[in-house]
């Protein structure tokens, strides 16, 4: 016996639902996070409620050390943890 179209569509919708990640579960890495473009990008990423951890990477020859930028972004009133790393 064939199923009615409405039941078949309802079953297809249940199967098609995707698993949604909870807010604040993403780990984001910004390469060049101490530069002129990386700092504002890091600020925007730090303010995003979907980001739980933000890692800033930059070279040791950068004008501003990534640890300093990470310290500045650590004062945001968000639950995002920020870490800075130097690439030699």
Say what the pLDDT of residue 4 is: 66
Specify the range with the lowest mean pLDDT, choosing from 17-26, 39-48, 52-61.
17-26
Structural contact between residues 70 and 46, judged by C-beta atoms closer than 8 angstroms: no
pLDDT of residue 66 exceeding 80, the answer is: yes
Say what the pLDDT of residue 31 is: 96
CA distance 21 to 6: 29
- The pLDDT tens digits of the residues spanning 21-47 come to 677 789 999 999 999 999 999 999 999
Please tell me the pTM assigned to this model.
Answer: 0.72
């Amino acid at each position: 016996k064939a199923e009615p179209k409405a039941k078949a569509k309802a079953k297809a919708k249940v199967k098609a639902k995707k698993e949604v990640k909870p807010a604040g579960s993403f780990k984001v890495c910004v390469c060049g996070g101490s530069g002129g473009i990386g700092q504002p990008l890091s600020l925007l990423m730090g303010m995003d409620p979907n980001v739980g951890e933000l890692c800033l990477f930059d070279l040791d020859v950068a004008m501003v050390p990534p640890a300093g930028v990470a310290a500045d972004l650590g004062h945001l009133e968000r639950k995002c943890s920020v870490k800075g790393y130097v690439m030699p």
